[in-house]
Structure 1
Amino acid sequence: MKPFFTFLCFISVFAFEMYAQEQLPLLQLIKDLEVRYDVKFSYSESDVEAVLVENPKADASLKTIITNLNETTLLNFKFLNDRYITISVIDKTISICGVLISEADGLPLMGASIVVENTQKGIITNADGEFELQAIPVNAAITISYLGYETLQLKAIQLRKQLNNSCETILLTERVEALNSILISKYLTTGLQKRIDGSTVLNTEKFGTLPGLTEPDVLQSIQALPGVESINESIANINVRGGTNDQNLMIWDGIKMYHSGHFFGLISAYNPYLTEKVEVTKNGTSSEFSDGVSSTINMFTKNNIDESVSGGFGANLLHADAFLQIPLSKKLAVHVSGRRSTTDVFSSPTYNKYFEKSFQDSELTTNSENISAAQQSSDFSFYDYSAKLLFNTNDNQKFRANVIGINNNLDYTESFENSEGETESKTSNLKQENLGFGANWNATWSDKFTTELSGFYSQYNVDALNNRAETDQSLTQANEVLETGVKLKGQLAINSNLSFLAGYAFNEIGVLYQTTVSAPSYDRTKKDVLLNHAAFAEVEYNKHNTYLRLGVRGNYFQKFNSFLVEPRINLRQKLSNHFALKLQGEFKNQTAKQRIDFQDDFLGVENRRWTLANEQLIKISKSKQASLGFEYNQNNWLFDVEGFYKIVDGITASNQGFYNNFQYVNANGNYQAQGVELLINKTAAKYSVWASYTYSVNNYEFNSITPSVFPNNVDVRHSTSIAASYQILKNLEASIGGIWRSGQPYTKPVEGNETIKSGNDTVVNYDTPNQENVDDFIRVDASLSSKIKLSNKVNGQLRIGVLNILNRKNTINRYFELNPENTDEALRVDNQSLGLTPNCSFRIIF
């Protein structure tokens, strides 16, 4: 028994010694010491609650324990007398670090934000989920956030970098409601992310540098995506998988927008510094949305109430802007922004290039010989503004209301001498406006059930007064769109992997267009109104290797007594850790579309008018689209291949902008686009390189005209882009990239018989439509971005960008017109792209 008893004593002593070396919370040790030694500690609980210390030996004296605590912690223990001891935080800084890991799959999270509260210090995790910050106050609060995951708040001391350079591993938990989670956190550049449903998310606040851009222009940036481009370099004409611009549904904070670009399409009309997030969906759209048979571009402004005032202001060579986010209380805040052009104050090189591009081939640049350049002048300006009210009635209910206004104004004056030798002048005006109001009420009734009630009002106007000096004729034109919408939806999270969405939407849309001529007197006004009731439902499932969203939408058009059913599917199936197949499909419809007018309309600058389907001459557009592809993602390499087929029925010849024999023909038809998109992307902490290629075939079919099948106006068979961004220094980033694509189709006159008589008029005699192509489009762009720390709370940012640095002359459109000096001849007219166009911007952010 004695050896056994000795062994037990040895084990007990060993266990006690091991226990003595274990760590325990400092708060627990303080309470133990107060009882053991009959002393009192004075401290702030927030200073000591996160601190772990070694359990002292049982026979250690109080003085020895306090000395050891002073040496091993960042706290100062001081004896006031034999019984009272104070504890305070040492005024010093530490280095912190960590590794962010997804709790769901154990993968590192790249692009997460690590922010030191109440300072301007912060960092984004690298490709391995790692971060490190120097000189952080020991008692600082650290916020860790990542889209689709729960936000963490920790004390700096909890992330203290150890002497052996080890860092804390931090697990982030996915939000239960976010089934449609982020798949790729850095897609092409910082701030572009790809969701598991195939949509792309642009986060403007974290946005990196794209070639040629000096700010995160929402509609310019999305053109970096495969299958998204602008054939004529205009934001007002974004083509998604062969569609026209009016086939893109644009939503700003729940408000349907009918206008997208300032400067008649060259820059986005949406202030990127208040637009927090943009979601772009090309296929497999949620059943919540209709319209936009080619794509959905959904823009969101910042939706949280901050603790302090923040904002920024800046300017580039075209405009100046400012935004403010003002918390009025913990539950109430106001966000405001405004932007105005500086083009009427001074003419920068950038403005001159944009003016030349926008107004080429318009009445501003193609006047009669009787009116010289010295006898004409133009004044162009634009502005936009937005405001948002944020009110949290309680923790579970939120109310938001917002307004947005967009305005473009052009005044054009011609001066001439009349028959009596007196000088007369005529001023023409063109104005574009889009005004929108919206509100929504979001309620969380339980951990699993939420509802949202929203409504919007959108008004779009184009008004033109064209006073023609030589003929003393006045032409007035107007186009107005009014739309009101209400939507109620509810979402039920059955569990963390399965949710159900259902809702009802009502829309009323009215479209007016008017033309008035003074001599000879002529007046035409037409207005159409359409009511649409819709019910939608979908189920979303995301577990392990499978993501599936199935939806259906039913639309009832009261005026036509017509009911359309639109099924939707979005499936992504992982076959291995790195390889996944994806399948998407959707039916959609669209009732409002644009009609393309020509030279004598809207001063020859803006030639698009919104019209409404009437099921007679103008049919409801209906699209069917399917796509199948695969993704391979490993070691920050992404290979994405997707084939698609799309047919859009119910298009009219008048809304295609034909320059051929069908220019004024009323005909209904369809277009079919099919092709393959390929993207290769390599990302790392300091750089990103990508290349994309799209091959597509896009043909019209109009049964009532001959030939019935011919290439689409935007049939671009080959399109390639290559770009790279590199972080040269911590606060200096550069990017360069190039675009090459096939030239746009055009129709040439019949050789040897270029003009023919049509009644009393002579017109161009066009050959078979769209059988020729202009030269290939090639452009190289570059940007440089630098961040400047001005103070602890104020940062600056300088960006320089150059579009078309090779100054290549690209023809983006070609058509023919009658030679006024020889009616047997047709003159070729080439519209050119932007030449070498520099720009720079400087911003202050606080």
Structure 2
Amino acid sequence: MNSKILLLFSVFLFFVNSQFAQDSSKKVALSSLLVDLEKQYNIKFSYSDADVTEVFLEKPNANFSLSEVLQFLNENTFLQFKTLDNRYVTVSFLDKKINICGVILDAKTKTPLSLCSIKIININTGTTTNFNGEFTLNTISLNASLLVSFIGYSSQIIKAKDLYLQPKCKEIFLVESSEQLSEISIAKFLTTGLQKSEDGSTILNTEKFGILPGLIEPDILKTIKILPGIESASESISNINVRGGTNDQNLMLWDGIKMYHTGHFFGLISAYNPYLTNKVTVTKNGTSSLFSDGVSSTINMQTSNRITNKFSGGGGFNLLSTDAFVNIPVSEKLELHISGRRSFTDFLITPTFTNYFNRSFQDNSVSSNTVNDSSTDFYFYDYSFKVLYDINYNHSIRASFIGITNHLNYEEAYTSNNTTIEENSVFKQENLGGIINWNADWNSKFSTNISAFVSDYNIDASDYNKDTDQFQTQFNNVLETEFKVASKYEFSDTFHFLNGLVFNEIGVRNTTTVNAPTFSKTVKNVLLKSALFSEVEYKKNNTYARFGLRVNYFDKFNEFVVEPRINISQKLNNQISLKLEAEFKNQTTTQKVDFQDNFLGIEKRRWILSDNKNIPIVKSKQISLGTTYAANKFYADITGFYKKVDGITAANQGFYNNIQQFNSVGNYEVKGVEFLINKKNKIISTWLSYSYAVNNYTFDIFNPETFPNSLDISHSVSAAFNYSFYDNFKISIGGILRSGNPYTKPVQGNETIQDGNRTIVNYSNPNSERLENFFRIDASASYNFNFTEAVNAILRVGFTNLTDKQNTINSYYIVDENSANNVRRIDNYSLPFTPNLSFRVQF
């Protein structure tokens, strides 16, 4: 029995081998066939090796005459065989019409990419791939070149002849690209998901976020604080200070919508859900002329523009909130992206919430009352959705909407004339925004983008003060609309030209009412502005250069503001690069900081609009020069910068002294150096950064005229160490040590003075004192695991302020007759030791 099986198996192998031999012998290389034909027919072929390379075909019939052989070769190749005489045959490249096909796949996952664009270069025609990633093109030139592109992937140029006469449709693999506008020069920077681009900006890819000290998720604004030159003097992400600027000098864009609200929990948590926001670009200088506002920085958050045609999503929770997101394919050309997040702080108390609550509400009427006569409900939520529609391979529509809300309900109960009276204070802060974009590729070189957005920011608060028996309402509204047209022309792969125009309207309203004494005040301003912008971008070999110009016109003021922008990077060799960045910028919206007219001592900021008199247009000029070194997974960067910002007012600088009462216009000037070194390998990434800056105000009416900026952090050092035990288990520990914030003391021996009927603190020279140095150590760990091949999960734990150091972040004084010298010092402190945990599932 065994011998019969072996015999049958041997016969089967012989049959398979003979069939394979027959199949493999069906086609031969044209270069070898021509040699055989020369011998058989005693002729000589004249051809170029490049024309016949990689051409395979079946052998012609051995009984064919020479003329029949040449006819067979002409019909089965893209070459022309022509007899000169009876002995010589010329072989030339023939421009003929051919039919081709291909399959576009993701290089990493091997999954098909549907609606991928296939364009014939220099001809306004092409096609897109179907659901299986397949495409066909009929009757195109054999000499044609095809541009294969897909959003989020690096494009490829394929020759049509390489797809011709293939036994089956050729597979073409595209590699995912993290940045489309400019080439990534440092792919992994500090941790996975952080990248350094060629134009000097830093990019956070939240989908690939690794791990950072203390963070349990890729919180957008917390993450960027690790970059040199970016601080938060008050520890709040709502108060991010870039190169000594105030938080309102940062342009915040979410999918192209200008946002006026950045933080939940009064600035301790980013208001932008990171799990649908997949890329954040941070630019400190040398900004593209496409953007206006934000005299200190541009923080551009973008959600995915890619139609995946795959149902996917995820969700999770931490000790403050829970969230979920989902991508829903409706058809091959239509997809929805939806996300939502809500805190559970109004019905579940965690240690993290307790610390955040005490940090946010320290030293105000909320924290000063006992639990017996007051209660506080606080919660936040945000949501977003996006519609992605591809009309065809040349035109696409994208529409996005976002909503952010913080809600505080504070109730008091007290007794008056043996009657229990309950009073209620309510605070609601929200930012709604929507945008629609139409992208059009008119040919392989020329494209346009037309967009329109609306952003609506509101603070609506009512506050009852039991001590004064006073009821107050506050309303702050910013409504901005914008229409923008931008065009891009690519003269070549190295030279691009961007042009556009913008029409913008901003309206700001502030209303305050008081019942005792009766008072009502409403201030509303509207400003129309328009702009033309243009820039050229050059990229070739070791040189990157971008030169831009933006011309702004303010209708109300009849004023033009011209803003040149420069961004140059030059590689001297494979390791060393030089960079030069410079810009002029302006902004017309700022925040007024009022420590007297606030909500429960918590929310002190109100947006106001420039009137070009008492509140001028804020204008900045900045230049920076630096060098980088990158080799053997070692990166070093040193940059010196100078920035001057004119048109600031005392009211928007957050002074904890008498200066805040004056309506004065001045400027600040900051000079500094930023230094960073980063060493990494497959399992370790460690870095050290240092910033030095001198930041001074100048206000002509004050004495002295020049004094330290409230955000003058002279020295700041941070260091961190990341270690990957395995591919799925990582830890991170790091710390920051920086100079204490400036503050103002009262005049010693004469701490108070009379101001009419009031006694006020008699402050000394502004910002002449400094708080103790700020020091904090954070740590975090993450563990990834898979439930199935399609469902994975990640568990993260984080610890803020491991040493539980009590850091003072600001100090001021109040009149207190029961204290020595009639004044009492008020200190506000940073977060104590705070644990947090998150768990996420993604499919």
Considering the TM-score relative to the shorter chain, is it more than 0.5?
Answer: yes
The Cα of 1:468 is off from its aligned counterpart by 2.1
* Alignment match, 1:698: 695
SS in structure 2 of the partner of residue 221 of structure 1: helix
Corresponding residue to 2:792 among 769, 792, 795: 795
Cα distance in 1 for residues equivalent to 2:230 and 2:840: 29
* Alignment match, 2:678: 681
Corresponding residue to 1:150 among 155, 176, 182: 155
Cα distance in 2 for residues equivalent to 1:446 and 1:175: 22
Amino acid at match of 2:470: Q
Amino acid at match of 2:818: E
* Alignment match, 2:395: 397
Q: Which runs of 4+ in 1 moved over 6 A?
A: 25-28, 143-148, 170-177
Is residue 2:31 matched to residue 1:29?
no
The Cα of 1:616 is off from its aligned counterpart by 1.2
* Alignment match, 1:480: 477
* Alignment match, 1:721: 718
Corresponding residue to 1:637 among 634, 637, 657: 634
SS in structure 2 of the partner of residue 365 of structure 1: helix
Aligned counterparts, 1:458-477, within 5 A = 458-477=455-474
1:530–1:558 Cα contact (<8 Å) kept: yes
2:817–2:823 Cα contact (<8 Å) kept: no
1:388–1:402 Cα contact (<8 Å) kept: yes
Is residue 2:559 matched to residue 1:558?
no
Is residue 2:343 matched to residue 1:349?
no
2:703–2:765 Cα contact (<8 Å) kept: no
SS in structure 2 of the partner of residue 670 of structure 1: strand
Corresponding residue to 1:335 among 334, 337, 349: 337
2:152–2:179 Cα contact (<8 Å) kept: no
| Compared CA separation, residues 629 and 689, structure 1 to 2 (3 A) | same
SS in structure 2 of the partner of residue 355 of structure 1: helix
Aligned counterparts, 1:175-574, within 5 A = 178=180, 180-367=182-369, 372-419=370-417, 421-574=418-571
2:108–2:175 Cα contact (<8 Å) kept: no
Cα distance in 2 for residues equivalent to 1:598 and 1:832: 17
Cα distance in 1 for residues equivalent to 2:179 and 2:300: 19
Cα distance in 2 for residues equivalent to 1:581 and 1:172: 31
SS in structure 2 of the partner of residue 431 of structure 1: strand
Amino acid at match of 1:844: V
* Alignment match, 2:656: 659
Cα distance in 2 for residues equivalent to 1:501 and 1:529: 30
Cα distance in 2 for residues equivalent to 1:449 and 1:594: 40
Amino acid at match of 2:790: K
Q: Over the residues paired in the alignment, what is the CA RMSD in angstroms?
A: 2.7
The Cα of 1:599 is off from its aligned counterpart by 3.9
* Alignment match, 1:845: 842
1:177–1:493 Cα contact (<8 Å) kept: no
TM-score by length of 2: 0.81
Amino acid at match of 1:363: S
For residues 774-810 of structure 1, give each alpha carbon's deviation from its aligned partner in whole angstroms, at most 9, with x where no partner exists: 0000000001011110011100110000000111100
2:193–2:205 Cα contact (<8 Å) kept: yes
| Compared CA separation, residues 635 and 439, structure 1 to 2 (3 A) | same
The Cα of 1:295 is off from its aligned counterpart by 0.2
2:678–2:688 Cα contact (<8 Å) kept: yes
TM-score by length of 1: 0.81
SS in structure 1 of the partner of residue 737 of structure 2: strand
The Cα of 1:301 is off from its aligned counterpart by 0.5
Amino acid at match of 1:456: F
Corresponding residue to 2:740 among 738, 743, 747: 743
* Alignment match, 2:75: none
| Compared CA separation, residues 113 and 754, structure 1 to 2 (3 A) | farther
For residues 570-622 of structure 1, give each alpha carbon's deviation from its aligned partner in whole angstroms, at most 9, with x where no partner exists: 01111121111110000000000000011441111110000000011100000
2:570–2:578 Cα contact (<8 Å) kept: yes
The Cα of 1:362 is off from its aligned counterpart by 2.0
1:699–1:712 Cα contact (<8 Å) kept: yes
The Cα of 1:704 is off from its aligned counterpart by 1.8
| Compared CA separation, residues 26 and 531, structure 1 to 2 (3 A) | farther
Amino acid at match of 1:358: S
| Compared CA separation, residues 587 and 140, structure 1 to 2 (3 A) | closer
For residues 494-524 of structure 1, give each alpha carbon's deviation from its aligned partner in whole angstroms, at most 9, with x where no partner exists: 1011100000011100000010001110000
The Cα of 1:117 is off from its aligned counterpart by 3.6
SS in structure 1 of the partner of residue 659 of structure 2: coil
For residues 158-185 of structure 1, give each alpha carbon's deviation from its aligned partner in whole angstroms, at most 9, with x where no partner exists: xxxxxxxxxxxx9988999956211100
1:179–1:497 Cα contact (<8 Å) kept: no
2:807–2:830 Cα contact (<8 Å) kept: yes
| Compared CA separation, residues 26 and 330, structure 1 to 2 (3 A) | farther
For residues 366-425 of structure 1, give each alpha carbon's deviation from its aligned partner in whole angstroms, at most 9, with x where no partner exists: 35xxxx441111000000000100000001111011110000000111111111x12111
Q: Percent identity?
A: 54
Is residue 2:79 matched to residue 1:115?
no
| Compared CA separation, residues 471 and 817, structure 1 to 2 (3 A) | closer
The Cα of 1:151 is off from its aligned counterpart by 7.7
2:508–2:526 Cα contact (<8 Å) kept: yes
Cα distance in 2 for residues equivalent to 1:657 and 1:577: 46
Cα distance in 2 for residues equivalent to 1:438 and 1:32: 57
2:151–2:306 Cα contact (<8 Å) kept: no
| Compared CA separation, residues 563 and 152, structure 1 to 2 (3 A) | closer
Is residue 2:770 matched to residue 1:773?
yes
For residues 616-654 of structure 1, give each alpha carbon's deviation from its aligned partner in whole angstroms, at most 9, with x where no partner exists: 110000000000010011111111000000000000000
The Cα of 1:726 is off from its aligned counterpart by 1.2
SS in structure 1 of the partner of residue 225 of structure 2: helix
Cα distance in 2 for residues equivalent to 1:429 and 1:173: 52
| Compared CA separation, residues 171 and 771, structure 1 to 2 (3 A) | farther
SS in structure 1 of the partner of residue 287 of structure 2: coil
SS in structure 2 of the partner of residue 486 of structure 1: strand
2:377–2:408 Cα contact (<8 Å) kept: yes
1:550–1:569 Cα contact (<8 Å) kept: yes
1:182–1:194 Cα contact (<8 Å) kept: yes
2:320–2:345 Cα contact (<8 Å) kept: yes
| Compared CA separation, residues 26 and 440, structure 1 to 2 (3 A) | farther
Amino acid at match of 1:467: Y
* Alignment match, 1:756: 753
Amino acid at match of 2:401: V
| Compared CA separation, residues 113 and 205, structure 1 to 2 (3 A) | farther
SS in structure 2 of the partner of residue 364 of structure 1: helix
| Compared CA separation, residues 638 and 747, structure 1 to 2 (3 A) | same
Cα distance in 2 for residues equivalent to 1:211 and 1:754: 43
For residues 431-452 of structure 1, give each alpha carbon's deviation from its aligned partner in whole angstroms, at most 9, with x where no partner exists: 1000001010000111111100
SS in structure 1 of the partner of residue 365 of structure 2: coil
* Alignment match, 1:163: none
Aligned counterparts, 1:83-162, within 5 A = 114-115=108-109, 117=111, 149-150=154-155
Amino acid at match of 2:185: L
The Cα of 1:341 is off from its aligned counterpart by 0.2
* Alignment match, 1:70: none
Cα distance in 2 for residues equivalent to 1:219 and 1:617: 32
